[in-house]
A = this chain, B = another copy of it.
């Protein structure tokens, strides 16, 4: 590719980005104008197939400064991803494939949803870990199935965020040499020169994290330097690389180098002079010169050949290593192992931890492995052992497995579209009759069923057993109380109304019992028992007594609930007008 063609391609990327912002009359033109040369030089080096965005050994590109997404959309369009010129024209419009920040869910080729600064670089560390584990598990001396790289562009704002510090420290610790980050050092933030708030020595900080660092003084023009930096970074055996790329925000604009180009459309005369400056027709919008079109088309064809080769390699691999090959094919298909569900434990502490059943699980513990029991006996630490990557790693909490909610675990594992948080109590809790994976999978279920109850107590977690004991107290006082465990509002809300009304029916006053909060429980109950103040430090039984979260305390509130609703018609809170 000639230098002139490179320049033309870069100008095309710049102007496509400017035209998007111009069409929307909102967005961020500064970053695309400054970063187009580096983006072009990096994408030229990347391996990917726009027609198969799931190819496992593709290189990943993440725009951590996601507000500059017009740049990414321009690249995706030019490289032939499923994004049309029409989509570019719909930039930042409702329902378009080109939203104001890149959404992995909506846009093919967007690897990670970004926007909140610092998030992209942190997700990139996660992707780099996944690639490392893949390589350690499946590469053989005679087969390299995984050798891809993760490229990240990030801005000053990303570097200011604590989350990127945490992730970058970990990346250095794990020696993720497959991670190559470009810091767009344009010295400009919304509040003006970065000197107003951010004067640390970023390069020295990343060195301290154990990263390799490279500085490119002329990021606006020096394509060779970018190319060489990528070579250098790829050759470093045991460190991630941060490339400090000095650029001019809004390169070419009349306001270049100022925060005026950061977050608003350029004025129309500015757009015109930009196009003229780059040798384009100022009256044309979304222009792509034919030679640029052809170049990108050729590049994609080359890349597709690489994937074809890789597929052949995989086929030979499966033949030579059938055991690993079969397991790898299962993982790539996203299927869970046969029978994994049947092997889930049912409340006996001696049962096997699920990580053994699902060797692809990677877990973490915030320096609380012992406290939270997050490591199984046959699991290894995820770390570099010389150059050998361990095969599989943890996590789940034994507390989940031994007690009430293996259902939560199952739901988390089976879900392909949502993250899960499983909130566990640190207190030991008894196993309750009536709790089962099947019941808990519905989000909420009746634990103690009564014929014509005077009141139903609805609760979750460690408060369920307190409520159960309260019911015995109530019985002595001649009050018949039912008990519902409702560990997961979200899943319960998805059940049919008939099921939900069978759990929380009309005609019975309902009392919710949760220490942490009354907030939100009004949706499922008429009365709420919970704290409206901070907790305290002390022994657990003392504290429970202090806040009256005892069988007696719960029974008292239940009795008052019965009294209050006596003679009043009671509608289930699940009945709604629309």
Contact = CB atoms under 8 A, between A and B. Distances in A.
Interface of A: 92-96, 99-101, 103, 157, 160-166, 169-170, 172-173, 189-191, 196-205, 207-210, 259, 263, 365, 367-371, 381, 383, 493, 509, 518-520, 522-523, 526-527, 529, 532, 536-539, 542-543, 546, 556-557, 560-561, 563-565, 568-569, 571, 573, 576-578
A207 B209 contact: no
A198 to B, nearest CB: 7
Query: Which of A527, A560, A578 lies at the interface centre, i.e. has the most chain B CB atoms within 10 A of its CB?
Result: A578
Given A93-B539, A161-B166, A557-B578, A200 B210 contact: yes
B209 A200 contact: yes
6 contacts: A94-B538, A161-B162, A173-B198, A520-B520, A557-B577, A564-B576
Contacts of A209: 200-201, 205
Nearest to A91: B537
B205 A208 contact: yes
B202 A210 contact: no
Contacts of A563: 577
Contacts of A203: 208
A568 B381 CA distance: 62
Contacts of A569: 568-569
Contact of A166 (B160, B201, B529): B160
A237 to B, nearest CB: 16
A537 B368 CA distance: 39
Given A200-B173, A564-B577, A578-B561, A95 B538 contact: yes
Contacts of A520: 519-520, 522
Most B CB contacts (10 A, CB to CB) among A191, A203, A546 go to A191
A99 B370 contact: no
Among A94, A369, A560, A565, chain B packs the most CB atoms within 10 A around the CB of A94
Contacts of A568: 569, 571
A371 B191 CA distance: 9
Nearest to A69: B537
Given A191-B367, A365-B191, A542 B162 contact: no
A430 B569 CA distance: 41
Nearest to A525: B522
Contacts of A561: 577-578
Nearest to A101: B537
Contacts of A539: 92-94
Contacts of A527: 576-578
Nearest to A163: B162
A36 to B, nearest CB: 22
Nearest to A202: B208
Given A160-B166, A208-B205, A536 B94 contact: yes
A578 B95 CA distance: 48
A331 to B, nearest CB: 26
Contacts of A529: 578
B536 A157 contact: no
Given A191-B370, A538-B95, A172 B200 contact: yes
Which of A200, A203, A557 lies at the interface centre, i.e. has the most chain B CB atoms within 10 A of its CB?
A: A200
Given A100-B538, A162-B162, 6 more contacts: A96-B537, A161-B162, A190-B369, A191-B368, A200-B209, A202-B208
A62 to B, nearest CB: 18
A245 B335 CA distance: 51
A159 to B, nearest CB: 9
A208 B200 contact: yes
B537 A190 contact: no
A256 to B, nearest CB: 18
A263 B370 CA distance: 11
A197 B368 CA distance: 12
A92 B576 contact: no
Contacts of A542: 93-94
Contact of A190 (B92, B370, B519): B370
Nearest to A578: B560
Contacts of A160: 166, 169, 367
Contact of A208 (B172, B208, B509): B208
Contacts of A571: 568
Closest 5 pairs (CB-CB, A-B)? A162-B162, A94-B538, A522-B522, A99-B537, A564-B577
A418 to B, nearest CB: 11
A256 B174 CA distance: 28
B543 A565 contact: no
Contacts of A164: 162
B205 A381 contact: no
Nearest to A170: B197
A172 B199 contact: yes
A460 to B, nearest CB: 16
Nearest to A575: B564
Contacts of A103: 537
A156 to B, nearest CB: 8
A160 B160 CA distance: 15
A544 to B, nearest CB: 10
Nearest to A563: B577
Nearest to A562: B577
A74 to B, nearest CB: 17
Given A94-B537, A197-B170, A207 B210 contact: no
A8 B368 CA distance: 35
Scoring A162, A198, A202, A259 by chain B CB atoms within 10 A of each residue's CB, the highest score goes to A162
